């Protein structure tokens, strides 16, 4: 839209708009730029006022236009092509923003049933933008209705009550090869195990309110989901970590727990027995040879050193005696 400018639509109540609650930082910054202007502003002007890149501004404008918040005015001050932002396909993509298309799709009884289940999960019928999100997951991502409902239920249970958030999670999952309900169930189970253990592990390692890094989260998830370890086994690994390294390190503890898992350790008692075997093996490996002196008597090989010394003295005496007799004779 070469000569278009955009302005905030009068009479819109943002507080009651689902799209407002779901908006992220770029969308909110562009909306503020539009609200602070009394006149329509071009995409380039909104981009500059909001401090956004041209791609971010284009996506935010598409988002608010789809929500009915921004309206365009043609014939505004001409712009050069170089002033216009690059057109980036919004998410959900443009075809789903057509009211005619939505009306046609909703005639499908299966979609109506799916939207009714979405309403049951979120406690209200989905808005136009939310219906677009459902269609995007169905058509563009190729996800089944059961997958979408399972994902929405999980996100809602985790306190994420936004279709937009669920859409981002769905894209991440599909990028990682999770497309089926069974794969999603396995993912959710791992996430539940992680979240149930995260607080305890955070306190154990003295992390306070710091968010775990992606690598730390992967390792904690492995401890509870893959290795099946409880707080007792993890606590033992923590003690060893601090004693050996002088600090509480998730990465150091992971090496210990991974070694135990590879060795078949499943419980605290098995971990303690494994440690005892390791100590015994090290003691045997570095055991000192038998002392050259046993019971206080020095020995040389199979000989008693006192006896050996006495015999040597006796031989020397005999030689001396014989020489003395020869000299007298």
CATH topology match: 96-179 vs 201-285: yes
Determine if residue 5 is left, alpha or beta; phi over 0 gives left, psi from -120 to 50 gives alpha, anything else beta.
Answer: beta
Work out the number of other CB atoms within 10 angstroms of the CB of residue 290. Answer: 8
- Rounded to the nearest integer, the mean pLDDT of the chain is 80
pLDDT at 87: 47
Q: How far apart are CA 150 and CA 169, in angstroms?
A: 12
Query: What are the b/e assignments for 116-141, b being 16+ CB within 10 Å?
Result: ebbeebbeeebbebbbbbbbbbbeee
Q: How far apart are CA 91 and CA 70, in angstroms?
A: 16
CA 144 to mean position of chain CA atoms = 25
Q: Where are the domains of the chain?
A: 5-90, 96-179, 201-285, 293-328
CB 82 within 8 A of CB 20: no
CA 89 to mean position of chain CA atoms = 28
34 vs 155, residue with greater confidence: 155
CB 233 within 8 A of CB 257: yes
The one-character DSSP state at 80 is -
pLDDT, mean of residues 88-113: 62
Query: Which residue from 77, 73, 92, 87 is spatially nearest to 5, judged by alpha carbons?
Result: 73
Helices (H), 40-144: 43-50, 54-66, 99-106, 109-122, 128-135
115: its two tokens: 């939207």
- What class is the 201-285 domain? mainly alpha
Q: pLDDT tens across 197-226, in order?
A: 888 898 889 888 788 888 999 999 999 999
Q: How far apart are CA 104 and CA 73, in angstroms?
A: 28
Cis geometry, peptide bond prior to residue 2 (ω within 30 degrees of 0)? no
C-alpha count within 13 angstroms, C-beta hemisphere, residue 114: 25
Give the pTM. 0.52
Fold of 96-179: Arc Repressor Mutant, subunit A (1.10.10)
Q: pLDDT tens across 20-78, in order?
A: 777 788 888 888 888 887 788 888 888 888 888 887 788 788 778 877 888 877 544 43
Least confident among 24-38, 110-124, 156-170: 24-38
């Amino acid at each position: 839209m070469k000569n278009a400018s955009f302005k905030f639509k009068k009479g819109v109540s943002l507080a009651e708009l689902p799209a407002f609650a779901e908006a992220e930082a770029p969308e909110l910054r562009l909306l503020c730029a539009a609200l602070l202007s009394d006149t329509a502003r071009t995409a380039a002007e909104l981009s500059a006022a909001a401090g956004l890149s041209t791609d971010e501004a284009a996506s935010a404008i598409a988002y608010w236009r789809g929500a009915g918040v921004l309206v365009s005015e043609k014939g505004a001050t001409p712009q050069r092509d170089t002033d216009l932002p690059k057109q980036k396909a919004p998410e959900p993509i443009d075809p789903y923003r057509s009211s005619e298309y939505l009306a046609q799709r909703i005639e499908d009884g299966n979609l109506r049933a799916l939207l009714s289940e979405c309403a049951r999960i979120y406690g209200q019928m989905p808005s136009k933008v939310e219906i677009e999100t459902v269609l995007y997951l169905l058509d563009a991502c190729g996800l089944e209705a059961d997958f979408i409902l399972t994902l929405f239920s999980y996100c809602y249970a985790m306190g994420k009550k936004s279709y937009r958030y669920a859409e981002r999670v769905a894209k991440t999952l599909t990028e990682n090869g999770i497309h089926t309900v069974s794969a999603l169930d396995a993912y959710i189970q791992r996430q539940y195990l992680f979240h149930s253990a995260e607080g305890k592990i955070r306190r154990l390692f003295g992390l306070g309110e710091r968010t775990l890094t992606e690598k730390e989260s992967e390792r904690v998830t492995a401890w509870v989901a893959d290795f099946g370890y409880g707080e007792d086994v993890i606590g033992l690994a923590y003690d060893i970590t601090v004693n050996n390294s002088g600090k509480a390190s998730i990465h150091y503890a992971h090496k210990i727990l991974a070694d135990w898992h590879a060795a078949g350790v499943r419980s605290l008692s098995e971990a303690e027995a494994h440690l005892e075997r390791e100590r015994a093996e090290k003691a045997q490996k570095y055991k000192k040879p038998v002392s050259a002196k046993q019971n206080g008597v020095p020995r040389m090989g199979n000989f008693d050193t006192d006896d050996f010394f006495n015999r040597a003295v006796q031989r020397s005496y005999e030689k001396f005696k014989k020489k003395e007799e020869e000299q007298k004779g």
